Amino acid sequence: MDTIEPYRRRLFTLSLDTRRDDGTQLYNFVLAGRGKKNWKSADLVLAGLYSLLIKESPQGSDGFILGNDEDQANQDLSLAKKLVAVNAAEIGGEVDVLSTEIKRRDGRGSLKILPARNIAGQHGKTALFIGYDEIHGYRNWDLFEALAPDPTRTDVLQWVTSYDSIFNTPGNPLYDLKQRGIAGSDPGMLFSWYSGDICTDPEFAELPPEQRANPSMASWPEGARYLEQQKRRLPAHKYRRLHLNLPGAPSGAFFDPDSVLGAIVTGRKRLEYDQRHSYFAFVDMSGGSSDDATLGIAHQEAGKSVVDAVESQAGKTPFNPRQAVIKFVNALRGYKIRSVTGDNYAGNTFRADFEDLGISYAPCRLPKTELYEQMEPRLNAGEIELPDLPKLQEQALGLVVRGTRVDHLPGEHDDWINAAAGAAWCAATQSQTNTGLVGRYSWG
């Protein structure tokens, strides 16, 4: 036990050995997130072995651990075998170590360790333990639905471990589970999260981001020097995801992630109206069923396009888009803006709505792919400032090239980044037009 740090002991005590008054286990789901090299996989395997060898169940002690891919499954299996080997005196006589599983000799169960794609044959079977290792690449809930716990059992434990997701949007399993954990809406979930921005452990919550995300740092031979080394060697977005346990960007992202992160002014959610500036606006309207309606407002200052605000309709989807128009018109008036640029969604419907409320509406002459292509070199040159809004960052990092278009991935969205890109373009081009500088910049 002296090799297991106190914070990990607390996790094991809560998840494996804490019960309600009626004797049933308090938690049936664990979500454990930390930076890389902080014993996440080891704890998952230890919990699986505990369920196999220590917990006794009348329906048997079968369990699964699913690696994100073949390599992850092989690493987990190798770790499980090593744990059995070095504890041979205690448990070696109780199990057989097979090619992909650890099996009890009394026939009461086995712990199978497989890549997620090889789990098809296990669907519908009852299990005492279901573990998912490194789910940051999962795009949907299909696997969780296929391996849903047996509803006739009260002793099932699901254990999910990962660093943060590439696809940090609603509908993505890790995103949804994190939101549930943050809200505390699931009394059966034990949410154990250590990252640069969220930490559920009071002993680490007030420490600097690197220490919050890496609670096992003190056990590393080189300690903080290892992270300094990784920071120099890795792109910023990969360092943030791997070692600060913060959301990242998908492979093949259109924008350079470091440029996006560099454009975001940390802590700035919005800039209020300043009479010294002229403001420009872009709207991305929606039918109200699935996509947000968004408004971006920006001004030009010292050669930079400063995005002052990006906002959406009141509330979540579904919503009444005409109520969104009213909200946006009030926001435009707050910045003394009399006209807005937008796409041709729904023909002249929203154009008429804006104009009925005294705001002229100009259709944008560029498709969104060209807005993003115009935005990219200015991001790289540090000529754009963006507000610190999670949805905006996620969507900017999530844009990819799909054929001849720049677009979001299937099932995701780009309404917030589209409003920001459009507002920045309007500020650059329209402010140049107003001062007779058309053509001076690449956006002219």
Of 416, 189, 228, 383, give the one whose Cα is nearest residue 309. 416
The per-residue pLDDT of the chain, averaged, comes to 90
**Structure token pair of residue 258:** 């470091």
Whether the CB-CB separation of 133 and 44 falls below 8 Å is answered with yes
Does pLDDT of 161 surpass 50? yes
Does pLDDT of 312 surpass 90? yes
Same domain, 332 and 206: no
Tally of domains within the chain: 2
Whether the CB-CB separation of 152 and 128 falls below 8 Å is answered with no
Same domain, 175 and 296: no
pLDDT at 198: 92
pTM, to two decimals: 0.65
Confidence of residue 324 (pLDDT cuts 50, 70, 90): very high
Flag whether 383 is in a domain: yes
Confidence of residue 439 (pLDDT cuts 50, 70, 90): very low
Flag whether 256 is in a domain: no
pLDDT at 120: 53
Flag whether 410 is in a domain: yes
Same domain, 23 and 145: yes
CATH code at position 144 = 3.40.50.300
Q: Please tell me the least confidently modeled range out of 196-200, 253-257, 330-334.
A: 253-257
Does pLDDT of 437 surpass 50? no
**Structure token pair of residue 228:** 């300094």
Same domain, 136 and 200: yes
Quote the CA–CA distance of 5 and 12 in Å, as a whole number. Answer: 11
Same domain, 214 and 273: no
Same domain, 26 and 131: yes
Does pLDDT of 21 surpass 90? yes
Flag whether 138 is in a domain: yes
Q: pLDDT of 166-216, one tens digit each?
A: 767 778 899 899 999 999 999 999 999 999 989 999 999 999 999 999 999
Among residues 194, 219, 244, the one where a domain terminates is: 219
CATH code at position 338 = 3.30.420.240
Confidence of residue 124 (pLDDT cuts 50, 70, 90): low
pLDDT at 194: 98
Same domain, 64 and 212: yes
Same domain, 190 and 296: no
Flag whether 129 is in a domain: yes
Q: Is 256 exposed, middle or buried (0-12, 13-18, 19+ CB in 10 A)?
A: middle
Q: Which domain does 153 fall in, by range?
A: 6-219
Confidence of residue 267 (pLDDT cuts 50, 70, 90): confident
Same domain, 297 and 213: no
Same domain, 208 and 272: no
Return the higher-pLDDT residue of 394 and 297. Answer: 297
Flag whether 239 is in a domain: no
Among residues 191, 219, 247, the one where a domain terminates is: 219
Among residues 193, 219, 245, the one where a domain terminates is: 219
